[in-house]
């Protein structure tokens, strides 16, 4: 991966990491499905009024919008609302890297190197260690919901790859139009009218900032860049970079909410970073040290 693309990817992971804390701010006054619905409404409108529909079959736009909007962010919002900390949610969601890696290997016949496999083994050990965190930042319901969101993200990555569009931004905008209505209906089904009453009576500046951050830097800019990278590089190269998200996620939660970082969280992050370096640069590091030895 070219250096400027790598730096862009790291910037996006920082935005995505902080976004978990931003979501939690919005959830203080807005229901999870309504928050996601507003987010994707603003992603689609007014942009789709001036951006032409991408030249892809409707099934990809509809599928991506439903999986990404409801399966990923609807469930993640709900998981955080159940009490899961923003930092832990960002950590759990990175299981999508493993789901994407192996599904990409199966769908696109991308061969996995031994360094990628070893790197993911280290990172998986770090992610699994969260089950031993006992500071109250982990809830079983939240854990299961975010893991389901991770599966949805891996499916969304495969859909954008299969769509094979060069109009990535237009794809993101138009697919977003298929998320809001199901999300709003889901909230009405689960909570009746209470969620909408609360929205109009209790929305505050934190919620507005949360929505704007989720729409513009996080979704429209972030996923435009991310999906563009998926177009240019193998899924197995791009997906592991998302493992940086929990690093920024936990740091953001610590700064904004004062989330504790006990030794087990440090171990989890350390293992994830080792896995990331090994999976992305293991082959290069071996070649570098081999050449140094020859010299």
Position 78 scores a pLDDT of: 93
Which of 166, 161, 190 has its CA nearest to residue 60?
A: 161
- Token readout for 237 is 């190269």
What pTM, to 2 d.p., does this model score?
Answer: 0.81
User: Which residue range(s) make up the domain with 10?
Assistant: 3-294
- Neighbour tally for 136: CB within 10 Å: 9
User: Counting Cβ atoms within 10 Å, is residue 199 exposed (0-12), middle (13-18) or buried (19+)?
Assistant: middle
200-207 long-range Cβ contacts below 8 angstroms, 24+ apart: 202/29, 203/29, 203/30, 204/28, 204/29, 206/25, 206/26, 206/28, 206/29, 207/25, 207/26, 207/28, 207/29, 207/30, 207/35
* DSSP code of residue 179: S
pLDDT single digits (tens) 63-102: 999 999 999 999 999 999 998 888 889 888 877 777 777 7
**88 in Cβ contact with 17 (< 8 Å):** no
Which of 154, 136, 134, 152 has its CA nearest to residue 144?
A: 152
Tally of structural domains, the chain: 1
Measured CA to CA, the distance from residue 115 to residue 250 in angstroms comes to 26
pLDDT averaged per 10 residues in sequence order, the chain, 295 residues: 87 93 92 93 93 94 95 94 88 78 70 78 81 75 91 88 86 94 91 81 88 92 84 75 83 87 81 78 69 59
Any idea what the Cα angle at residue 277 is, between residues 273 and 282, rounded to 5°?
A: 150
Position 37 scores a pLDDT of: 94
Position 36 scores a pLDDT of: 94
């Amino acid at each position: 991966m070219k250096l400027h693309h790598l730096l862009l990817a790291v910037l996006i992971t920082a935005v995505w990491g902080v976004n978990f804390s931003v979501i939690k701010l919005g959830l203080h006054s807005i229901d999870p499905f309504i928050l996601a619905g507003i987010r994707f409404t603003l992603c689609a409108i007014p942009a789709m009024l001036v951006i032409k529909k991408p030249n892809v079959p409707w099934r990809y736009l509809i599928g991506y919008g439903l999986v990404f909007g409801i399966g990923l962010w609807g469930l993640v919002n709900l998981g955080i609302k159940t009490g899961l900390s923003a930092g832990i949610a960002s950590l759990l969601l990175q299981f999508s890297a493993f789901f994407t890696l192996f599904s990409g290997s199966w769908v696109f016949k991308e061969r996995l190197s031994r360094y990628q496999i070893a790197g993911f083994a280290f990172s998986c050990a770090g992610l699994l260690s969260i089950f031993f965190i006992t500071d109250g930042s982990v809830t079983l319901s939240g854990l299961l919901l975010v893991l389901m969101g991770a599966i949805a993200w891996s499916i969304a990555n495969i859909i954008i790859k299969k769509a094979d569009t060069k109009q990535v931004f237009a794809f993101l905008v138009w697919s977003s139009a298929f998320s809001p209505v199901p999300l709003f209906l889901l909230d009405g089904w689960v909570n009746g009218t209470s969620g909408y009453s609360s929205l109009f009576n209790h929305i505050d500046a934190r919620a507005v900032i949360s929505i704007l951050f989720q729409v513009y830097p996080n979704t429209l800019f972030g996923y435009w860049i991310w999906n563009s990278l998926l177009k240019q590089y193998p899924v197995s190269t791009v997906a592991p970079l998302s493992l940086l998200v929990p690093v920024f996620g936990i740091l953001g939660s610590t700064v904004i909410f004062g989330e504790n970082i006990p030794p087990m969280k440090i171990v989890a992050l350390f293992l994830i970073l080792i896995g990331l370096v090994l999976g992305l640069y293991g082959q290069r590091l071996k070649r570098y040290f081999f050449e140094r030895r020859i010299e």
